[in-house]
Chains A and B, each alone.
Chain A
Amino acid sequence: MNPTPLSAYVNGVGLLGPGIANWAEGADILSGRHRWVSAPTVLPPPEGLPPAERRRTGAVVKLALAVGLEATRQAGADPARLPAVFTSSGGDGQNCHEICQVLASAERQLSPTRFHNSVHNAAAGYWSIATGATPASNALCAYDASFAAGLLEALTQVAIERTAVLLIAYDASYPEPLRSVRPIPDAFAVAMVLAPDVGPAALGKIEAHLSGAPADTIAEPLEALRRAIPAARSLPLLALLARSGAGNAVLEYLDHAGLVVTVSPCR
């Protein structure tokens, strides 16, 4: 059978990472207007959550909220009405470390909050509480392919359900000793509002298909960032969107498969 084209307008983008505070800064860097200077990722306080919940959130919730809200504002979309796809290679590494430490102690007195924050869909849960979003949300993982897997799920929803979808990809680092076996140096997150119809601030139209092609690299020093943080595997696509140009980006996916994303101007 003929596959349905997996295409969508990118109606808004949110971005946060080392030396990148938002999409505007990221777009300047990715388009070559500004030089990237590496600096630790600055996590903004979690917007929209009641104070009690706010105290309980870790890095991944702050990341997801920051980029998700930036993307939906840019798109002029109501976050409460958007289905969302969350994707992360590892979730909240600090929280996971604390749990493993407590479970290795004699008392094993686990905090209930630590436990409910340990679920891979914690960011999705806090997002829905903060924004009042009741549509479906997904929480995915595909190790280093997590961004491409999330994009594929989001584009499939756009194509099949004919709805706008919010994609949020994020990764944060583990502390030692897990950091040695999963060395993610810092936090990075990207969000996109993907829609069947063009929005007022749309950055381009994308279409995706699977291929055996190897993933694209980008120019150093950002290539090091792309390789180091799974959510930054999105950078070749973001670079195309930042340059408002047309072209292809092959994103890292699984063995035997790359995800080719074609960007075209939307007007």
Chain B
Amino acid sequence: MTPLVLSALTATSCIGRGVSQTLATLRAARSGLTPCAFETVTLDTYVGEVAGVDDTRLPAGLEEEFACRNNRLAWLGLLQDGFAEAVAAAAARYGAARVGLFLGTSTSGILDSEIAYRQRDAFSGALPGTFRYRGAHNTFSVAAFARRALKLQGPAVVVSSACSSSGKVFASAQRAIAAGLMDAAVVGGVDSLCLTTLYGFHALQLVSAAPCRPFDLARNGISIGEAAAFALLERTPGSLDADAVLLLGTGESSDAHHMSAPHPQGRGARAAMEQALTAASLGASDIYYINLHGTGTPSNDEAEACAVAAVLGPAVPGSSTKGATGHTLGAAGALEAVICALALREGFMPAGVNTRTIDPALEVNYLLENRAAPLIRVMSNSFGFGGSNCSLILGRAG
């Protein structure tokens, strides 16, 4: 594929609002996970909750139609790092109809429906009159909101393939730009805490009572987080700063195995990583660091370790940043792509925090401490329910 430049990027999660705070937390190897006090949830678990989401006001005129936690988190994220301004500049340069929008989310504004079901009319069963379906609950609501908030008129879509959603938006956007459907694309992921995922992963016995410890011998589940992360993709101009970050390759596959468990040997994960290498015309030795999907469940980390060892070999340094951010589900692909871009720009590999004793059965070079190193190309994995896999390769321009 023809490389694209990430001309603007931003991330907001429990480890920071915007890239400066995110980078500072990663450099300090701190976790943003805290004991769960979200809404009325009574589960014994840790979450990566973003502070100040409910206090964020949507832009004028959009509050009535789009108010929900997921869209507030999206807007909070878009306001950081001058991202919305960069999108406006791209729209001015190319025309609003030539800028596309590809966002990933798994649960959208479902929290509003969960709460509304507690407030149904005792007699008729109706939802409260203030309830919105289209602007909140519907899977597309975050893109409908962002398209209006950013004043874009190009193609827009939500990819909702569970935890691979916002990795896959990079692949779809890349194809759409290559086909000439648009000149630039806003890609990203937004997922916010809700009861469906907290109680759902709990029902599957996949939630840890402690902060998650990916690749640890004692790992016993995920910690759920929330995030909004975005990048602006454009064709590569004639000259680029050396620390500009490029999207070099994408790979997507299906496990065809099980709805909620990965293929034990990571068959689909391997295929996605191999395709990303092929798309980027690179070999395994070209990858300097891998940001693992690394959720912290026994089976996910085992399957991913198998796949990484098979494709990249056991020596490539890797870590999961979910110990810091929690598993931000449909936002994880974009959040971790932004973290990879920061790693490339700053020349450092983030440690997998919380993890103490690496599981010796996992053949990976897992980083327990931050490591400074000039990075040229890195890979990021995102895998989801339904056996949906995505790998991205990002690299420095020089």
> Measuring CB to CB, which residues of chain A are less than 8 angstroms from any residue of chain B?
1-4, 6, 53, 80, 89-91, 96, 99-101, 103-104, 108-112, 114-122, 124-126, 128-129, 131-143, 146, 149, 152-153, 156-157, 159-161, 176-178, 180-182, 210, 253-257
Contact = CB atoms under 8 A, between A and B. Distances in A.
Contacts of B156: 142, 149, 254
Contacts of A119: 106, 160-162, 384-386
A149 B203 contact: no
A221 B127 CA distance: 31
B161 A121 contact: yes
Contacts of A100: 113-114, 116-117
A2 B199 CA distance: 49
Interface string B227-271: 000000000000000000000000011111111100000011001
A260 to B, nearest CB: 13
A231 to B, nearest CB: 14
Interface in B118-157: 118, 120, 125-127, 131-134, 137-140, 143-144, 147, 153-157
Given A126-B386, A128-B256, A159-B179, 13 more contacts: A90-B138, A110-B196, A112-B204, A115-B204, A119-B385, A120-B139, A137-B252, A141-B140, A152-B181, A156-B175, A160-B178, A176-B125, A180-B127
B126 A124 contact: no
B253 A135 contact: yes
A138 B159 contact: yes
A167 to B, nearest CB: 13
B7 interface: no
Nearest to A84: B254
A146 to B, nearest CB: 8
A121 B178 contact: no
B209 interface: no
B117 A121 contact: no
A137 B256 CA distance: 10
A120 B125 CA distance: 26
Contacts of B154: 257
A155 B176 CA distance: 10
A101 B116 CA distance: 10
Contact of A143 (B140, B179, B254, B260): B140
Given A112-B260, A177-B127, A121 B386 contact: yes
Given A132-B256, A136-B253, A178 B133 contact: yes
Contacts of A180: 126-127
A122 B139 CA distance: 14
Interface residues of B, number: 67
A103 B159 contact: no
B158 interface: yes
A122 B178 contact: no
A3 B179 contact: yes
A116 B262 CA distance: 13
Nearest to B134: A143
A101 to B, nearest CB: 6
B195 interface: yes
Contact of B97 (A116, A118, A146, A257): A257
B255 A134 contact: yes
B161 A139 contact: yes
B180 interface: yes
B256 A103 contact: no
Question: Quick one: which of A96, A122, A134, A153 has the most chain B CB within 10 A?
Answer: A134
A143 B179 CA distance: 24
Contacts of A178: 113, 127, 133, 137
A134 B147 contact: no
Contacts of A137: 161, 252, 254, 388
Contact of A103 (B157, B171, B199): B199
B114 A254 contact: no
* Nearest 3 CB-CB pairings of A with B: A125-B386, A3-B180, A115-B200
A126 B160 CA distance: 15
Contact of B259 (A103, A117, A210, A254): A117
Contact of B257 (A90, A129, A142): A129
Contacts of B159: 138-140
Nearest to A180: B126
B322 interface: no
Given A115-B200, A142-B157, A143-B134, A134 B253 contact: yes
Nearest to B206: A112
A80 B203 CA distance: 31
A135 B274 CA distance: 12
A114 B203 CA distance: 10
B144 A143 contact: yes
B181 A133 contact: no
